[in-house]
Amino acid sequence: MIQFSNVSKFYDEQIVLKDISFNIEKGDLVYLTGPSGSGKTTLLKLVYRAEHPDDGQILVAGWDVAKLRQKTIPFLRRNVGIVFQDFRLLPNKTVFDNIAIALRIQGLDPRLINEKVNDALNDVGLKHKSHALSQHLSGGEQQRVVIGRAMVSKPTVLLADEPTGNLDVETADIVIKLFKEINARGTTVLIATHNRELFMTSGRRVIFLRDSAIEKDIIP
């Protein structure tokens, strides 16, 4: 589902990812970890073509990402749900609208959108904040809105970048359980995180990045 073959990425002269290869099968749930600045976010960005690889090939859900035409990129992204590390919420819009926008850009029926968004709000426990502006939310609440938005369109691939950084342990548990449910329904999930508690005892595959390369790739 997500296949990297000898991918390298530079920012200016600095190398950020060096000759990365791995293959995540459809239906997998994989953790990605590594110290601050090791390239986790960059790796995720390559998956949804927010960055272009300097070398190598990336296949995502059958798309050859590096060769995608500009016009096709939106359609790749509609198949990829993303929990951004920096949230990227629309500050002046309500929680409801922030989640709904992921469906509106696809031109879905308003009633269907309403239904799906309410489900997502329930999932992340923000039903009561539905009409609050996203800029008036607490850090943890914002993070859950992002998670809701990433899930609501039932994407083929779900990427989550530090999804529990602003969450207390109980809420983090709920979120991880959500990811597992989504994964069980067939979505491929890739979670970048520093939170060792999440993956140490999970019994799932963990990819360790260090110094621009894959240090370890533990497949249980």
Partner 1 sequence: MRAFLYSCQIAFKNLVVERWINLLTILSISVGLLLFTSYLTITLNIDTVIKRWGTGFGMVVYLGDGLSMETEESIKELLKQDSDILELKYVSSDEALKELREVLGSRSSILDSMEANPLPSSFELKLKRETLTPIYIEKKAARIKEMTGVEDVQYGEKWLSSLNTISVVMRVIAVLLGAAIFIAIAFITYSTIKVLFYRRKDEIETLKLLGATRSFIKMPFLIEGLFIGGVSGVISALSLFGLYKFTVMKFVEFLPSIRGLLVSLPLEAYIAIPIAGALMSLTGSFFATGRIRY
Ligand X SMILES: Nc1ncnc2c1ncn2[C@@H]1O[C@H](COP(=O)(O)OP(=O)(O)OP(=O)(O)O)[C@@H](O)[C@H]1O
Q: Are strands 2-11 and 55-60 parallel, antiparallel or unpaired?
A: antiparallel
Query: Which window, 55-63, 131-139, 179-187, 199-207, contacts ligand X (CB under 6 A)?
Result: 131-139
End-to-end CA, the chain: 19
In this chain, which of 194, 216, 217, 218 binds a copy of itself, going by CB under 8 A? 194
Q: What angle do CA 117, 119, 123 make, to 5 degrees?
A: 115
Q: Is 89 in the site for partner 1 (CB under 8 A)?
A: yes
Q: Which of a copy of itself, Mg ion, partner 1, none does 76 bind, CB closer than 5 to 8 A by kind? A: partner 1
User: Which tokens is 142 given?
Assistant: 């914002």
In this chain, which of 141, 145, 153, 198 binds a copy of itself, going by CB under 8 A? 141
Task: Return left, alpha or beta for 61; rule: phi > 0 is left, psi -120 to 50 is alpha, else beta.
Answer: left
Name the residue nearer to partner 1 (CB basis): 89 or 209. Answer: 89
Q: Are strands 55-60 and 63-64 parallel, antiparallel or unpaired?
A: antiparallel
| Residue closest to 112 by CA, chosen among 154, 142, 146, 160 | 154
Which residue ranges make up the site for ligand X (CB under 6 A)?
11, 16, 34, 36-42, 85, 132, 136-141, 166
Which residue ranges make up the site for partner 1 (CB under 8 A)?
48-50, 70-71, 73-78, 80, 82, 84, 88-90, 92, 101-102, 104-107, 109-110, 149
